A and B are shown apart, each in its own frame.
Chain A
């Protein structure tokens, strides 16, 4: 492999300065966090940038804070910091467990949650789980700040709705209520998941009935997907929902519209959605 082409790294001290740098360098520049995905694409000469804006030099973006209503994760928090965070392990075990299984320990040490979402690699574990958890991201550009849902942020393979001068500064995840059960499962034989499936269920006191469900599937197609219709089939008395799991999986697979790729055929991935939805259901309610 050829060495990386020449580039210069810039060190903004504020989000505003980073936004100005991104705007100034335009297509010749890119925001740089952990670099675990960006640098690989640059090594393969699939992307060329002359300027990298190191968001890690902006203070305060690497913090994890648990509030009354939500968990805030700064954009430069690494997967490892999430997996090791005691409050995350206690209050968001599903998130800590997912983070503990992203790629390998070296990638987890350097890769950041914000970078992962902004790169919008289709085979991303965090994006799928965050979609099911109804996370929002905070984005800031030269002219102001906005908040986006996961579906508004990631719109295709390697494609987000961020403007040239905008950067993701943090992620907010609503607190998981006592009545909620969450599970994230993935199927992986290579370096990236073939399928990731997240399920969040609101259950009544004795667990016999599901009042609300939210499922998301990722890695099978260009971006993580969910379906209101599938979620509706996943709510109701538990024995009824169990009988509807195959139908819900079919609807979810239709929404995701899996693609053939090196990880498997579309048909195979549709089959996996059925298997993993059932497993996630059992795990969430265990």
Chain B
């Protein structure tokens, strides 16, 4: 079967089967290994990707659900010239990761939050990011990075 969808801004067609998860198609068929798989039960958020702007757990969501929709993975955030997305840059500036395994999911969830709510309060950030787990940083720098990215994005406008 063929699955066609928009991946990181470009139309794509890939062979797949109905029982394949989106993470399997991304990692194994398209070699986009920035999407990480950890808990496999939609709890940790490492596998977060965006579908039509909304965060989903690609470890459990069937690739079937991506048909004719827009999927954004961590590979699609930086500009073609390599300039990082403000959320990515803020994570670096604020030391918001150590091992980095949760980072792609954290950054995509944070991007979705800021697209929807450009000036979130600290409480709103914590509530939205509640489903993304980091075992290194203790979250303080992550929240700070998101606040910084929000500020930068609003200055750009």
Contacts and interface: CB of A to CB of B under 8 A. Distances in A.
A8 to B, nearest CB: 6
A106 B17 contact: no
Contact of B55 (A3, A4, A7, A106): A106
B102 to A, nearest CB: 13
B42 A106 contact: yes
A105 interface: yes
Given A6-B19, A40-B60, A104-B130, A109 B54 contact: yes
Contacts of B48: 106
Given A40-B42, A80-B54, A106-B42, A3 B60 contact: no
B18 interface: yes
A162 interface: no
B42 A104 contact: yes
Interface in B38-53: 40-43, 45, 48, 51
B54 A39 contact: no
A39 B60 contact: yes
Nearest to B57: A106
A9 B56 contact: no
B21 interface: yes
Contacts, number: 68
A43 interface: yes
A36 B42 contact: yes
A4 B43 CA distance: 18
A129 to B, nearest CB: 19
B5 to A, nearest CB: 16
Interface residues of A, number: 23
Quick one: which of B24, B51, B57, B128 has the most chain A CB within 10 A? B57
B68 to A, nearest CB: 13
B60 A43 contact: yes
A239 interface: no
A35 interface: yes
A190 B43 CA distance: 10
Contact of B42 (A6, A8, A52, A103): A103
Interface string A4-39: 111111000000000000000000000000011001
A110 interface: yes
Nearest to B60: A39
A191 interface: yes
B128 A105 contact: yes
Interface in A91-112: 103-107, 109-110
B146 to A, nearest CB: 14
B107 to A, nearest CB: 14
Contacts of B42: 36, 40, 103-104, 106-107
A109 to B, nearest CB: 4
A104 B112 CA distance: 13
Contacts of A8: 18
A103 B127 CA distance: 11
A43 B40 contact: yes
Given A39-B60, A52-B18, A109-B55, 15 more contacts: A3-B24, A4-B21, A6-B17, A6-B18, A35-B65, A36-B42, A36-B60, A104-B130, A105-B109, A105-B130, A106-B45, A106-B48, A106-B55, A107-B131, A109-B54
14 contacts: A3-B21, A5-B19, A9-B18, A40-B41, A40-B60, A104-B42, A104-B45, A105-B112, A105-B128, A106-B56, A107-B57, A109-B55, A110-B61, A110-B65
Interface of A: 1, 3-9, 35-36, 39-40, 43, 52, 80, 103-107, 109-110, 191
**Shortest 4 CB-CB contacts between residues of A and residues of B:** A104-B131, A4-B19, A109-B54, A9-B18
